[in-house]
Amino acid sequence: MTQGSYVADKSSSGGEFNRDTSYITTRITSRTRGAEGGAAGGHYPVEAGRYRLVVARACPWANRAIIVRRLLGLEDALSIGFCGPTHDARSWTFDLDPDGLDPVLRIPRLQDAYFARDPNYPKGITVPAVVDVPTGAVVTNDFAQMTLDFSTEWTEFHRDGAPQLYPEPLRDEIDTVARRIYTEVNNGVYRCGFAGSQEAYDAAYDRLFTALDWLSERLATQRYLVGDTITEADVRLFTTLARFDPVYHGHFKCNRSKLAEMPVLWAYARDLFQTPGFGDTIDFVQIKQHYYIVHADINPTRIVPKGPELANWLTPHGRESLGGRPFGDGTPPGPTRESERVPPGHGAG
């Protein structure tokens, strides 16, 4: 099932969910690092205006890229295209755009960009994906490396006051924390939701909440996951937490506790949500539409629930008492561009 996209993830013979983690690993790097290449593992040069980031607001993995691009101020250098919240067995589609075509790439389906890269592309059509506009071909869909490269390779185009999301002195710790977040939380909710046996589900459930308890303990005495500023690790956790009560608690059976019933994580999530660049990227309507409509094997009626109440995301969180500097020596991003704003009524306001 999905990795925020159509991808061939399957349950093993024991019913455990296994994610397909083989991505197009081509990177976009600074001009001093590597020559342009087209093969997986090669390099393309960082160039303003050359690439288009294709995302879906519903997808937690794509949401990371939306947040990092906004925090770093890459809007002028890297355009963005939004797929709709649902997809069929073939591909994400640009059904939000006039005539169902991406206005820059002029394609109706993201798979067209994958096939421009490889006409026999055998894997899932995933978001986020960075597309080379001149050729119309996908450069990379390696979501984990993508945001790290935004921080480290695109520095020439960062806004004044851009935060250090992947500071070199903290990278080992960020990587360690992010690795556990990915395996146990980001992917852990999917492991619960797509378990193919009671035994696999029970094991996945225990792993998920063990990790959430560990995160609660870590965050009880510090405002952010690593150091005293927002880092890549916080971005990676936030996108799962934002979807926890609307989707994962019920739809994926992650129901020991709602996020709103886990005091430390709930305060931490609200703190980030109320920070420019985080909550203003969250479209709760599209998030619910994606999971409840696309996952017909879990929700065969495809009925999208009306709840939960969302105004509580804007209530005081009290995390300022722990200190910390959200953007370090930098500054918050400015207002979201009008063309990229979450539609009215789709957020928590």
The pLDDT assigned to 20 comes to 76
Class of residue 153 by CB neighbours under 10 A (exposed 0-12, middle 13-18, buried 19+): buried
For the question of residue 83 being annotated catalytic, the response is no
Alpha carbons 349 and 273: distance in angstroms, whole number = 11
Tokens, residue 5: 């996209």
Residue 83 has pLDDT above 80, yes or no: yes
Q: Which residue has the higher pLDDT, 173 or 15?
A: 173
Task: Please state whether 124 falls in left (phi above 0), alpha (psi between -120 and 50) or beta.
Answer: beta
Non-local (6+) Cβ contacts of 344 within 8 A are none
The pLDDT assigned to 35 comes to 45
Burial string for 174-207 (b: 16+ CB within 10 Å, else e) reads beebbeebbebbbbbbbbbbbbeeeebbebbbeb
The pLDDT assigned to 38 comes to 47
CA nearest neighbour of 107 among 51, 31, 54, 40: 54
All domains of the chain, ordered by start, with CATH?
5-157 (3.40.30.10), 168-340 (1.20.1050.10)
* DSSP class of 87: B
The pLDDT assigned to 16 comes to 86
The pLDDT assigned to 41 comes to 52
* Contact (CB, 8 A) for 87 and 294: yes
CA angle 207, 211, 217 (to 5 degrees): 150
Q: How far is residue 261 CA from its own chain's centroid?
A: 23
The pLDDT assigned to 2 comes to 42
The pLDDT assigned to 39 comes to 43
Residue 63 has pLDDT above 70, yes or no: yes
The pLDDT assigned to 22 comes to 80
Alpha carbons 45 and 47: distance in angstroms, whole number = 6
Alpha carbons 102 and 52: distance in angstroms, whole number = 10
The pLDDT assigned to 18 comes to 84
Average pLDDT over residues 321-342: 97
Ordered alpha helix ranges (H), the chain: 60-72, 111-117, 143-152, 171-180, 188-193, 198-219, 232-243, 263-273, 284-289
Which residues are paired to 131 by β-bridges? 52, 138
Alpha carbons 281 and 310: distance in angstroms, whole number = 15
pLDDT band (50, 70, 90) for residue 13: low
Residue 8 has pLDDT above 80, yes or no: no
For the question of residue 59 being annotated catalytic, the response is yes
- In one letter, which amino acid is 78? L
Residue-averaged pLDDT of the chain: 93
The pLDDT assigned to 31 comes to 66
Catalytic site residue from 44, 190, 205, 268: 190
Catalytic site residue from 59, 83, 192, 254: 59
Alpha carbons 294 and 300: distance in angstroms, whole number = 9
The pLDDT assigned to 121 comes to 95
The pLDDT assigned to 17 comes to 85
Alpha carbons 51 and 215: distance in angstroms, whole number = 36
pTM of the predicted model, to two decimals? 0.94
The pLDDT assigned to 243 comes to 98
The pLDDT assigned to 158 comes to 98
**Antiparallel, parallel or unpaired: β 43-45 and 51-56:** unpaired
92 known ligand binder: yes
pLDDT digits (tens, 9 = 90+) for 86-133: 998 889 999 999 999 999 999 999 999 999 999 999 999 999 999 999
pLDDT digits (tens, 9 = 90+) for 259-290: 999 999 999 999 999 999 999 999 999 999 99
pLDDT digits (tens, 9 = 90+) for 197-254: 999 999 999 999 999 999 999 999 999 999 999 999 999 999 999 999 999 999 999 9
The pLDDT assigned to 74 comes to 98
The pLDDT assigned to 170 comes to 98
pLDDT digits (tens, 9 = 90+) for 24-42: 999 999 965 544 544 445 7
The pLDDT assigned to 4 comes to 43
Angle between helices 60-72 and 143-152 (to 10 degrees): 0
